[in-house]
């Protein structure tokens, strides 16, 4: 089979790119390792910047987002029992939207047939070939048969563990990484949230986050050592912990319910330079990871795709190569700023096992400063709503 752009991965990055290209009549195919059900049931991000919602709106795929998404005009940082509200709309004129990544993915997959976007699920042994030549191609196995897609370009949107990044020779690459000494233990449950806006709390027992998906669905996280296992955390233990953390901070009591999911996610900062090798372009988690503090991961995938789709469209519409040539520099400039903000907020809001009394006093002083300074709050707010494209 022959196409213009072979897209590897049906996460938010690959699906958005596929839709944006098809909207301009550019041929493309998305190749995904997992089943559709698996892709649609992954529970991840919850907070969307306008960069992300604007893309969905431009595609005419924001109907459910507009009906169900919660407009958030502020969020809270807590230092022990003191709540600091950051009024992002007052400070920036903008807002974020609470709408789960799961729902974004479902909306994009549901719309694929009517937009003539071909998604191949359950493709195994996906491999990239000749990415630095003139005729790159992708192979995969499906239902026992080997398939081949010849393309002008390959978009590696296959997340942190996919094969695309590995197709770039090590000699051309620089990697930057920080692994944090803790993870986030998360719970999702159909219970009303304890607060109308998110609370990122730095308490004596570490970080905790009260978030939500809707007025009837809550999402909570607590910081746990990387050695911890989900089996160590029956729901009752986790609810006890969340109640202790949020009772002094929240507008309402923490309501308990059967967990829809309990999981542990490790925290990492990671950037892979380069994002282009020949006719292969990387986007999203395939090229970078942020710790979830600040909710930048999905939104960075969306901004990469905003740049990459514009560049590919300019190539096909006008033979203009300048945006493709400039893709990496443009994407990395925004990525590094999101890396900085996620790292900053992670350091400010977590208890690091190696930290002593001095580092804790630094956190207290900084949070106290944030509480008193409109300038500091503006810096945090403009990063939280997302820096301009």
Whole-number Å distance between alpha carbons of 110 and 59: 13
Burial of 143: CB neighbours in 10 Å, binned 0-12, 13-18, 19+: exposed
- Residue 289: CB minimum distance to ligand RFL, A: 7
Nearer to ligand PHB, 3 or 223 (CB): 223
Helix (H, G, I), strand (E, B) or coil at 50: helix
- Residue 188: CB minimum distance to ligand PHB, A: 8
Q: Which does 293 bind (CB under 5 to 8 A by kind): ligand PHB, ligand RFL, none?
A: ligand PHB
178-217 mask for ligand RFL (x: CB under 6 A)?
A: ----------------------------------------
Whether the CB-CB separation of 342 and 290 falls below 8 Å is answered with yes
β-sheet with 5-8: strand ranges across: 118-120, 28-31, 5-8, 153-156, 280-282, 276-277
Nearer to ligand PHB, 287 or 295 (CB): 295
Q: Which stretch binds ligand RFL (CB under 6 A): 43-51, 108-116, 198-206, 323-331?
A: 43-51
- Residue 225: CB minimum distance to ligand PHB, A: 19
Nearer to ligand PHB, 136 or 183 (CB): 183
Q: Which does 12 bind (CB under 5 to 8 A by kind): ligand RFL, ligand PHB, none?
A: ligand RFL
Q: Taking the CA of residue 15 as centre, how many other CA atoms within 13 Å lie in the half-sphere pointing to its CB?
A: 26
Q: Which does 49 bind (CB under 5 to 8 A by kind): ligand RFL, ligand PHB, none?
A: none
* Residue 78, both tokens: 């807590």
Q: Is 39 in the site for ligand RFL (CB under 6 A)?
A: yes
Whole-number Å distance between alpha carbons of 251 and 85: 13
Q: Is 77 in the site for ligand RFL (CB under 6 A)?
A: no
Among 17, 26, 31, 149, binds ligand RFL (CB under 6 A): 31
Cα dihedral 38/102/302/53 (nearest 10): 150
């Amino acid at each position: 089979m022959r196409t213009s752009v072979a897209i590897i991965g049906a996460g938010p990055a690959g699906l958005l790119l596929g839709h944006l290209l098809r909207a301009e009549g550019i041929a493309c195919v998305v190749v995904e390792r997992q089943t559709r059900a698996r892709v649609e049931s992954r529970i991840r991000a919850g907070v969307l910047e306008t960069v992300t919602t604007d893309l969905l709106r431009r595609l005419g795929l924001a109907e459910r987002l507009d009906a169900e998404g919660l407009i958030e005009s502020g969020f809270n940082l807590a230092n022990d029992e003191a709540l600091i509200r950051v009024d992002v709309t007052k400070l920036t004129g903008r807002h974020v939207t609470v709408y789960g990544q799961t729902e974004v993915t479902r909306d994009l997959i549901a719309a694929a047939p009517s937009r003539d976007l071909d998604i191949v699920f359950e493709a195994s042994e996906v491999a990239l070939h000749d990415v630095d030549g003139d005729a790159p191609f992708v192979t995969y196995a499906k239902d026992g048969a080997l398939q081949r897609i010849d393309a002008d370009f390959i978009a590696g949107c296959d997340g942190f563990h996919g094969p695309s990044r590995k197709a770039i020779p090590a000699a051309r690459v620089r990697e930057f990484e920080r692994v944090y000494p803790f993870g986030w233990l998360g719970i999702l449950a159909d219970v009303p949230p304890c607060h109308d806006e998110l609370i990122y709390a730095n308490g004596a027992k570490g970080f905790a986050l009260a978030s939500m998906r809707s007025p009837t669905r809550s999402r909570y996280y607590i910081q746990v050592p990387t050695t911890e296992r989900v089996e160590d955390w029956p729901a009752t233990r986790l609810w006890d912990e969340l109640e202790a953390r949020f009772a002094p901070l929240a507008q309402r009591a923490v309501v308990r319910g059967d967990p829809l999911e309990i999981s542990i996610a490790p925290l990492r900062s990671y950037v892979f330079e380069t994002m282009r090798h020949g006719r292969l372009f990387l986007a999203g988690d395939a090229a970078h990871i942020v710790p979830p503090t600040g909710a930048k991961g999905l939104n960075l995938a969306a901004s990469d795709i905003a740049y990459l789709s514009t560049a590919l469209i300019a190539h096909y519409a006008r033979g203009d190569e300048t945006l493709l040539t400039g893709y990496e520099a443009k994407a990395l400039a925004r990525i590094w700023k999101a890396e900085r903000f996620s790292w900053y907020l992670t350091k400010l809001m977590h208890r690091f096992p190696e930290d002593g009394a001095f580092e804790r006093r630094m956190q207290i002083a900084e949070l106290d400063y944030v509480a008193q300074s409109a300038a500091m709050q503006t810096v945090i707010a403009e990063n939280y709503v997302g820096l301009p494209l």
